[in-house]
Copies of this chain bind each other. A is one copy, B any other.
Amino acid sequence: MKACVVAVGSELLTPFRVDTNSLVITEKLNAIGCEVRLKAVVGDDAHELASVLETALGFADLVVCTGGLGPTQDDITRDTVARVLEMPLVLDETIEERLRQRFARRGLTMAEINRRQAMVPLGAIALENLNGTAPGLWIDRGDVAVLLLPGPPREMGPILDHVVTEYLAPKAGGTRLFRRVLKITGRTESDVDATAQPVYTRWLTRTVPISTTILASLGQIELHLTAASSAEDEARVGLDEAVRELQAALGTSVYSSDGSALEDVVGHLLRGRGLTVAAAESCTGGLLTSRLTDVPGSSAYVERAAVCYSNRSKVELLGVSESVLDAHGAVSEPVALAMAAGIRAAAGADVGIGVTGIAGPGGGTPEKPVGTVAIAVVTPWEEKVLVFWFPGSRDQVKGQATQAALNMVRLLLQKAQRGVAKRP
């Protein structure tokens, strides 16, 4: 099966937005062996959308449109698709009633304009949208199928999943793509590539060939492994072995091979050992704790955190001594250690984290340029402090500092788990 993905919305034609829905759609379609051959972004112009739809229908069996299903006049997808497919639009009373009820539940009366969202091409299957007002639409004409999805990702996702399972997977059959992702931190892209290349090159020519893509962003590198096979077991076995070989080559810098984020891995390690954590953040301004608490159920192990921007708060809340601050400066190993130890003691937590640095753009000096960050982790059995220099803008420095801090916690916990650590 060949697919085209068409995103509709003039805002996606500005220099400010990229269509990221198509990545999610591609992933789900690839998983059932459906290839994406064209991605297009068109504005809110019925003539141009129609022209693109005709092109797409010319070489694909499946056209997936996102966006343009809202209630306003800008929302042209429903009408244009109906016109191109020569299907009359009719009012679907079930959808209309569902919309009225949705508004009523929130104490609102449905505006007349929202009735537009209940218009469907005759013969289309309406797909309930649990997270918004615009229903999805599935139109199967035998030789071609068209799927209309709302643009907001949280509305699009569940409808897409439903359609893939219920309608597309049975149509697809045959070869499917299987993927695994290795997530790596603490190494450079060229270093990872130099180490991994001899391994993944071998896998290109196996019975079940596995291709590898390397994807780097600040503080994180991902290796995406893709196997094409009609036999799920065969693909799994190959991928598992390739993952093991790459992990052996790359060592502890690989923090996950199942899609988990670094905060999930850290959370899992803390939970597994029944440990609690507390953080003292300066330059990361709360982002580290926000990441720790992004994990559902993290209240079981996140005790508290203090964001101490002022020196006064470092003294009052964390017991960092004025003399240490004066002698070494706020951005220094001794202060990071004192912050970690201070919050750990105040919270009665097992693990304490201290982060202090210069996120920029101001505040740098020749000795401590913007991007200098000292990070300390204190546990009952070991403490560690490191000074990093991170490139980039204020938010990029913040992001990399949280990544490095979480990674230090991970490495200390994993080392203890392996029993290498000295126990108190």
Contact = CB atoms under 8 A, between A and B. Distances in A.
Interface of A: 9-20, 23-24, 26-27, 30, 35-45, 47-48, 51-52, 54-55, 58-59, 70-72, 74, 111, 113-114, 131, 152, 154, 179, 189-190, 193-194, 197, 213-218, 224, 279, 281, 284-290, 292-294, 296-299, 302-310, 312-313, 316-317, 346-347, 359-362, 391-396, 398
Contact of A51 (B59, B288, B294, B362): B59
A290 B299 contact: no
Number of copies of this protein chain within its complex: 2
Given A279-B307, A307-B307, 17 more contacts: A13-B38, A14-B26, A14-B224, A15-B26, A16-B215, A37-B43, A37-B48, A47-B59, A51-B58, A72-B214, A74-B213, A113-B194, A284-B290, A285-B286, A293-B309, A296-B360, A317-B317
Contacts of A14: 26, 30, 179, 213, 224
A13 B42 contact: no
Nearest to A111: B190
Contacts of A316: 346
B303 A310 contact: yes
Contacts of A30: 14-15
A213 B286 contact: no
Contact of A286 (B217, B293, B303): B293
A262 to B, nearest CB: 15
A254 to B, nearest CB: 18
